[in-house]
């Protein structure tokens, strides 16, 4: 493994928080939608295990797209759009996951790896999109402490790409990676920091803006390229017990045009999701996933969203939420039509 340019900076900050439990505060009213598919329960029963999903869209046949989801105690699952399990790769200690598609067609699953609590790592696997299987590639150390959130950044024409890591300490790292002669070279730097525990993370390649969820404070926007420090970040959606109720967990984007669309956040503290309009994060409204053909969703950690066509089941886009309850079975992931969310909020066409 090639690591020619490692540059790790230490950060000493305090960390707070844990996953939410029974909501004590309810924010503004939320409209309801229902799931149209769900995955089987993850293999780890009676535990906080399922965490974060990511979506790969098949451009040739959107209905044959794939979803990767984490079991923090077990590893990575691959699902189809009916929610059926296609593959499982054992790797205990993973938390958040994102997918990166390289110019040569490779699709990589990048997960935050907490198997070594002294050093946060990136767990990297290759997704075989034809078979729906994962194969381990390598682990890349990022920095001291415990990694939580992870999200993909820019992918360049030469095959180099960036991964952002949000640590429990509040440190935000940027890791540049590139395959060179079959080996993965990496370079990490401390990009920025927020005061307390982070997790949710999503990057907008159109604007270079990185959004970070500080669980007990709200959503930060910061420069994903260039300027770091306090001058390079802004708390754009604070926890107010109206739109957002702590903990802020998963973040996802639905881009439109050059800088428009929506950002969605898991308002875990009252089992809801907050929708903001880009680029200024203007509050739009809130929604919940209620019981229907499938059960309701509570205590969501990770979410994923793609607002493109995914075939007859999801013609207006796909929203996926981790279900932190799913009683009496183990936690799982629920699939929702994105156009149904927009319609319920009065944002449909």
DSSP code string of 119-176: EEEEEEEEEETTTTEEEEEEEEEEEES-EEEEEEEEE-TTS-EEEEEEETTSEEEEEE
Q: In the sheet where 37-38 sits, what is the strand order?
A: 37-38, 332-337, 318-323, 303-306
Q: Is residue 2 part of a domain?
A: no
pLDDT tens, per residue, the chain with 349 residues: 333 333 333 333 333 334 444 457 899 999 999 999 999 999 988 889 999 999 999 999 999 999 999 999 999 999 999 999 999 999 999 999 999 999 999 999 999 999 998 999 999 999 999 999 999 999 999 999 999 999 999 999 999 999 999 999 999 999 999 999 989 999 999 999 999 999 999 999 999 999 999 999 999 999 998 766 667 899 999 999 999 999 999 999 999 999 999 999 999 999 999 999 999 999 999 999 999 999 999 999 999 999 999 999 999 999 999 999 999 999 999 999 999 999 999 997 6
Q: Is residue 136 part of a domain?
A: yes
Q: Is residue 13 part of a domain?
A: no
DSSP 8-state assignment for residue 315: T
Q: Is residue 176 part of a domain?
A: yes
Residue 133: give its domain's CATH number.
Answer: 2.120.10.30
Q: What is the domain range of residue 256?
A: 31-344
Q: Is residue 196 part of a domain?
A: yes
Please tell me the total count of domains within the chain.
1
**Alpha-carbon distance 35 to 41, whole Å?**
15
Q: Is residue 205 part of a domain?
A: yes
Q: Is residue 103 part of a domain?
A: yes
Strand 171-180, strand 161-167: pairing: antiparallel
DSSP 8-state assignment for residue 63: G
Q: Is residue 21 part of a domain?
A: no
Could you identify the residue written with the tokens 């999200």? Answer: 151
């Amino acid at each position: 493994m090639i690591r020619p340019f490692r540059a790790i900076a230490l950060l000493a900050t305090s960390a707070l928080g844990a996953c939410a439990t029974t909501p004590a505060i309810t924010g503004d009213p939320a409209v309801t939608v229902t799931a149209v598919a769900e995955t089987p329960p993850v293999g780890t029963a009676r535990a906080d295990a399922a965490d974060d999903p990511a979506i790969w869209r098949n451009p040739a046949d959107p209905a044959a797209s794939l979803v990767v989801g984490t079991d923090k105690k077990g590893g990575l699952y691959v699902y189809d759009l009916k929610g059926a399990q296609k593959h499982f790769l054992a790797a205990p200690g993973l938390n958040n996951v994102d997918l990166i598609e390289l110019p040569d067609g490779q699709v990589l699953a990048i997960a935050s790896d907490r198997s070594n609590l002294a050093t946060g790592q990136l767990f990297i696997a290759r997704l075989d999109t034809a078979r729906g299987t994962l194969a381990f590639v390598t682990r890349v150390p990022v920095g001291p402490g415990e990694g939580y959130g992870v999200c993909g950044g820019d992918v360049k024409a030469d095959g180099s790409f960036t991964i952002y890591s949000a640590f429990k300490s509040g440190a935000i790292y940027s890791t540049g990676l590139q395959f060179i002669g079959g080996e993965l070279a990496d370079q990490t730097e401390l990009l920025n920091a927020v005061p307390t525990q982070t997790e949710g993370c999503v990057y907008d390649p159109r604007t270079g803006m990185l959004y970070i969820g500080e669980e007990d404070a709200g959503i930060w926007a910061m420069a994903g390229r260039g300027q770091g420090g306090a001058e390079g970040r802004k708390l754009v959606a604070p926890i107010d017990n109206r739109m957002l109720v702590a903990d802020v967990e998963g973040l996802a984007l639905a881009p439109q045009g050059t800088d428009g669309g929506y950002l969605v956040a898991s308002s875990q503290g009252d089992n809801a999701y907050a929708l903001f309009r880009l680029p200024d994060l203007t509050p739009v409204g809130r929604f919940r996933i209620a019981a229907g053909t499938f059960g309701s969703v509570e205590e969501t950690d990770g979410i994923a969203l793609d607002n493109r066509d995914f075939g007859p089941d999801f013609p207006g886009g796909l929203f996926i939420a981790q279900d932190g309850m799913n009683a009496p079975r183990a936690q799982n992931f629920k699939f929702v039509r994105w156009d149904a969310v927009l319609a319920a909020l009065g944002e449909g066409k």
